[in-house]
Amino acid sequence: MKKLILLLPLLLTSCGTDHEWAWYILSPNKVNGLTNLKFLLSGIGITIYISVISIIISMFLGFIVAIPSLAKNKFLTYINIAYVEIVRAIPLLVLILWVYYGLPIMTGISFSPFTSGIIALAISESAFQAEIFRAGINSIKKAQWEAGSSLGLNFFKRLRLVILPQAIKNILPALGNQFVYVLKMSSLVSIIGIADLTRKANELVVTTYRPLEIYTFLILEYLVLILIVSYFVRKLERKLKQDSNN
C-alpha cells in the first residue's frame, strides 16, 4: 500500500491526457516545492485535533440521547427518535453554516470558526452515536438487567456497573468506524475558515493555479490518514474478537 501511494503521482502522470503535470510545485528537492509541502502538511494537526474533540463530545451527547430510548415511557422514546431523525436529516455543511452564522444571532455569543466546527460536527455525529449506543445496550441480554436488579441496583447503577462495560466492548469497532467518518467529514469545516487540510489546499491552489496536483495530493493525505485509522480499528476488532473467544 505504501508503494502504491508513492507511485500514484507517477501513474497519474503517465495517463494519456493533454494535461501537463507539474509535480515540481510539491517537490521536496525544490525550495518552493518544499515550502508548499510543509504548508499543506501543516493542516494535518488541525484536522486530527478537531476530529478527535468532535468524536469525544459526540459520544457523550449520543449516550445521553440514547438513554431515553431505554425507558418504557413512550414520550421519552419519541424524544430520542425525533432527535435522531431530525439531526440525521440535516446536511452537515448546512449545519456548519447555521452554527457559525445563525447560532450567534440567536444566542448573542460569537463563536470562533474552530468552536463552530466542533459544535456542528459533534451535533451531527451525536445522532449516529446515539443509535450505536442504543443498539449496543439493547444487545445485552435482559437477564443482565434482572441480575443487577436482584442486587438492589437502581436503573443508572445497573446501566453503569453491569450493562455499559459489556456494551462498550460490543460497540468499540463501530465507534472506530465513526471516527473514520468524522475524519472525512471534517474537511467541510474549511468553508468557515478553519486551517485544516482542505483549507490549506484551497489557499495553495489560489497562489499556484495548479488545482489538479494540489487536490490529488490532498486525496493522498486523507487516504493515508484514513488507512492508518482503519488499520488500528481493524486491529482493535481482531483483539476484541480474540478476547471474546477466549
Q: Output 93-96 pairs: Cβ under 8 A, ≥24 positions apart.
A: 93/188, 93/191, 95/120, 95/123, 95/124, 96/120, 96/121, 96/188, 96/189, 96/191, 96/192
The span from the CA of 226 to the CA of 153, in Å, is 42
**Boundaries of domain holding 31:** 24-245
Question: What pLDDT does residue 237 have?
Answer: 77
Residue 2 forms part of a structural domain:
no
Question: What pLDDT does residue 2 have?
Answer: 45
Instruction: Check residues 33 and 243 and name the one with the higher pLDDT.
Output: 33
Residue 18 forms part of a structural domain:
no
pLDDT tens digits for 174-231? 888 899 999 999 999 999 989 899 999 999 999 888 888 899 999 999 999 999 988 8
> For residue 131, what is the domain's CATH number?
1.10.3720.10
Least confident range from 28-37, 101-110, 121-130, 136-145: namely 136-145
Residue 219 forms part of a structural domain:
yes
Residue 232 forms part of a structural domain:
yes
Number of folded domains that form the chain = 1
Confidence of residue 97 (pLDDT cuts 50, 70, 90): very high
Average pLDDT, the chain: 85
Residue 154 forms part of a structural domain:
yes
Residue 11 forms part of a structural domain:
no
Residue 15 forms part of a structural domain:
no
Instruction: Check residues 197 and 70 and name the one with the higher pLDDT.
Output: 197
Residue 183 forms part of a structural domain:
yes
